[in-house]
């Protein structure tokens, strides 16, 4: 999930997008709740891919493992392919694991879920540290985590460094360059798939950050997390529901950006459930009660699914 985002000016026209002849990317959903799979509105989308963020040490903590197991088993029952993105521990979020500890925990996770064959070593690796909340790895550490995952699962597709675009893109580009340099130093195979969260770009109705970052990657790109933000702290909130309107506009633009970039092969909309009062970040396609919002209709129509229009939530 995105950490910080300046308020977009949605009153101006969206930045022009160069259309490509045919978009060949897959669209899926990202969420951390297995209840999504029981929602008939999710079923109507007929998506074949989902993404789940798991603590890197989920395999050694009963609570984290229980949540991961419920989601992955529900996805498998629905015949949906799961991309697992590892992240900081829920128990020690400000402590980065040693490569040895990370390798041990990830190997154990891979063995527990033999049908999962797609992984990300660290979610939003360039996000930075927030005191008392969480820590993020350096580009050098991220490269070593990547190496650990490909060694733990040689049959798997492992996404290279997964980054957030951010308001100012230069630090992100430097992070990618440093990651690539470390991969070369480690003599590890260079990733063929890269992960990007382009929240800042699409929520400003812009595309230049996405273009620069995909060019820096130089390979296939999965938009592993993206979407229209309804509320982030107080930045996008509005008691009259303007956040829902702007989020649906952003989602429409998000698909246009993805279709304009030949390197984009997948797009995971984040997330499914919104409207939770305790959450500072809300980009949900449904409200806390599982009812569809206007953004859901945008996604549904993009996927050419049936029965997209129903009674929409205003929360």
Q: Is the pLDDT of residue 17 over 80?
A: no
Model confidence at 308, in pLDDT bands (50, 70, 90)? confident
* pLDDT surpassing 50 at residue 309: yes
- CA nearest neighbour of 158 among 198, 127, 201, 188: 188
* Tens-digit pLDDT profile for residues 47-63: 999 999 999 999 999 99
What mean pLDDT comes out for the span 225-241?
67
Q: Would you tell me how many other CB atoms lie within 10 Å of the CB of residue 210?
A: 26
Q: Which residue is listed with tokens 């050694």?
A: 60
Residue 36 in any domain: the answer is no
- Full domain range(s) for residue 90: 42-302
Tell me if 222 is assigned to some domain. Answer: yes
CATH of the domain at 196: 3.20.20.80
Q: Is residue 202 part of a domain?
A: yes
Percent of residues, the chain, with pLDDT higher than 90: 77
Give bridge partners of residue 197 from the DSSP assignment. 164
pLDDT of 266 over the 80 cut: yes
Range scoring the smallest mean pLDDT among 67-76, 135-144, 248-257, 300-309: 300-309
What torsion do the CA atoms of 282, 228, 215, 145 make, to the nearest 10 degrees? 20
Whether 220 is in a domain gets the answer yes
Question: Considering its fold, how many domains does the chain have in total?
Answer: 1
Tell me: the pLDDT tens digits for 82-120? 999 999 999 999 999 999 999 999 999 999 999 999 999
Q: Give the model's confidence band at 132: pLDDT under 50 very low, under 70 low, under 90 confident, else very high.
A: confident
- Would 32 be classed as within a structural domain? no
The C-alpha atoms of residue 293 and residue 208 are separated, in whole angstroms, by 28
* Torsion sign (Cα): 150, 152, 157, 162: negative
Q: What is the pLDDT of residue 129?
A: 87
Integer angstrom CA distances of residue 106 from 54, 121, 222, 223: 10, 9, 22, 23
81 found inside a domain = yes
**Which secondary-structure segment (H or E) carries 254?**
helix 242-260
φ, ψ for residue 290, nearest 5 deg: 80, 15
> Using only C-alpha atoms, what is the Rg of the chain?
18
Q: SS3 helix, strand, coil % of the chain, rounded to 5?
A: 35, 15, 45
Please check whether residue 161 is in contact with residue 188, taking contact to mean a CB–CB distance below 8 angstroms.
Answer: no
Instruction: Let me know if residue 104 belongs to a domain.
Output: yes
C-alpha separations of 133 from 10, 127, 139 in Å: 31, 12, 20
Query: Secondary structure of 71-140 in the HEC alphabet?
Result: HHHHHHHCCCEEEEEEECCCCCCCCCCCHHHHHHHHHHHHHHCCCCCEEECCCCCCCCCECCCECCCCHH
In the sheet that 264-270 helps form, which strands lie side by side, from edge to edge?
A: 157-158, 118-120, 81-87, 49-55, 26-30, 264-270, 220-226, 193-197, 162-164
The verdict on residue 26 lying in a domain is no
């Amino acid at each position: 999930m995105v950490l910080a985002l300046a308020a977009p000016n949605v009153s101006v026209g969206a930045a022009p997008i160069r259309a490509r002849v045919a978009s060949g990317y897959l669209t899926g959903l990202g969420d951390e709740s297995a209840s999504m799979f029981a929602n008939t509105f999710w079923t109507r989308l007929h998506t074949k891919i989902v993404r789940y963020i798991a603590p890197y040490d989920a395999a050694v903590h009963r609570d984290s493992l229980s949540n991961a197991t419920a989601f992955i088993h529900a996805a498998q029952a629905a015949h949906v392919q799961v991309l697992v993105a590892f992240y900081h521990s829920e128990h020690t979020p400000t402590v980065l694991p040693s490569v040895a500890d990370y390798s041990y925990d990830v190997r154990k996770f891979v063995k527990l879920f033999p049908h999962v064959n797609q992984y990300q070593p660290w979610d939003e690796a360039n996000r930075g540290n927030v005191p008392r909340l969480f820590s993020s790895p350096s580009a050098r550490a991220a490269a070593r985590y990547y190496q650990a995952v490909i060694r733990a699962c040689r049959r798997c597709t492992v996404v290279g460094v997964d980054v957030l675009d951010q308001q100012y893109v230069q630090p992100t580009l430097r992070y990618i360059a440093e990651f690539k340099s470390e991969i070369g130093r480690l003599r590890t195979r260079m990733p063929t798939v890269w992960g990007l969260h382009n929240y800042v770009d699409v929520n400003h109705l812009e595309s230049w950050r996405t273009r620069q970052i995909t060019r820096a990657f130089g390979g296939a790109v999965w938009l592993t997390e993206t979407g229209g933000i309804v509320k982030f702290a107080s930045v996008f909130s509005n008691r009259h529901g303007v956040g829902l309107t702007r989020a649906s506009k952003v989602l429409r633009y998000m698909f246009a950006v993805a279709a304009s970039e030949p390197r984009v092969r997948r797009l995971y909309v984040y997330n499914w459930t919104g409207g939770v009062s305790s959450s500072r970040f809300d980009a949900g396609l449904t409200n806390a009660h599982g009812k569809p919002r206007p953004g859901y209709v945008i996604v549904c129509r993009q996927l050419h699914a049936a029965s997209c229009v129903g009674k929409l939530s205003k929360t």
